[in-house]
A = this chain, B = another copy of it.
């Protein structure tokens, strides 16, 4: 998914070809890639940097929508607002501000979230409860509601279905992010086609002060909200739930998906278009995860941990996430050090079951560990491979057929700098 060239068109269900040929292919774009969606981003005066900080995505018709939300017991009122509404068949818009997380703000915060939805509803001519709200930024500060109200007409007027408008949305929701993050796929089902596109922000899954992980995905497929809810949870479990920059789970995280049916393609039941929809949703989520990992605070490289040979998928996740979260492993990767001992140690304390005889570790493709003992390898070559922008760690647990992939980045001086020098 990194580039168009990197991923060929892949037929779904290769073993048992469906009657209708189905293809999933990456395309340019983000939240406006799918038909019937418009977006915009404007300056409301919330960010200290005075950059654009208020964004909206709008569907020209009621959309099915579903989401996943932070598990943090201390969470922003925007998370509560969305979770109370979803899944729903009647969502029209998402309003997102950056620069203020509106978390730990008590009753005032709850009123302000409802106010955000009300202001957008009035301006867009849709019910308050058809507007989802997301906030990201500093914890413990109140939203400047007057400024948001003042900026809303300008935001509504700027809504556009162009790719540039989608990009404006992606740029507006950034906080400590250095790069905008968009991804989209086109899914062809026989002679019909639909799109799934999205954007995310967060320079870490988890940054309670300045950067929270938010993700917004739109599709013009027609899908029931309950089915969409299942598909979203499945995709997020395989992607965003295996992403980490620093191990701190934020108060504002959410992934929201809107499906408005504008393509005329209906997704139902199992197999066929549904399998293609799930594959496309996974592809967009997975690509956005890679983009967050690559832009992790202080990151000099992106790291992908692929665990195979697990007895259960839960075991594969435990091992992949333990390695992805290990500070020692990530410092070694920053230093281009093929330090397999730290990787093995993390697998050891992960709680995942593995075969002591068959468990093996490969670093950038080179086998470095097997049978709980070191394997001779070319240190110079490993050191050189570790200097690349994308590094892979492959761990075979040697027990079964289940697998999982975790996404992370290395751990550099700049991570400490960014998080020590930012003062509340």
| Distance between Cα atoms of A174 and B320 in the complex (Å) | 32
Per assembly, the copies of the chain total 2
Query: Nearest B residue to A419 by beta-carbon distance?
Result: B331
In the complex, the answer to whether B348 meets A105 with C-beta atoms within 8 Å is no
Is A371 on the interface with B (CB-CB < 8 A)? yes
| Distance between Cα atoms of A349 and B70 in the complex (Å) | 9
In the complex, the answer to whether B416 meets A344 with C-beta atoms within 8 Å is no
In the complex, the answer to whether A372 meets B334 with C-beta atoms within 8 Å is no
Stretch of A57-65, A144-152, A220-228, A321-329 with 4 or more beta carbons under 8 angstroms from chain B: A321-329
Produce 1/0 per residue, A179-211, CB < 8 A to B. 000000000000000000000000000111100
| Distance between Cα atoms of A335 and B347 in the complex (Å) | 32
In the complex, the answer to whether B74 meets A372 with C-beta atoms within 8 Å is yes
In the complex, the answer to whether B342 meets A208 with C-beta atoms within 8 Å is yes
Residues of B close to A106: CB separation below 8 A: 371-373
Most buried by B among A331, A345, A419: A345
Is A339 on the interface with B (CB-CB < 8 A)? yes
| Distance between Cα atoms of A337 and B411 in the complex (Å) | 21
Cβ of A263 to closest chain B Cβ, rounded Å = 38
Give the interface size bracket for A toward B: 35 or more
Produce 1/0 per residue, A329-341, CB < 8 A to B. 0011011011111
Query: Nearest B residue to A207 by beta-carbon distance?
Result: B328
Is A216 on the interface with B (CB-CB < 8 A)? no
Query: Nearest B residue to A103 by beta-carbon distance?
Result: B341
Pick 9 A–B contacts, CB within 8 A, sort by A.
A72-B345, A72-B349, A74-B344, A208-B328, A248-B327, A328-B419, A379-B424, A412-B420, A416-B416
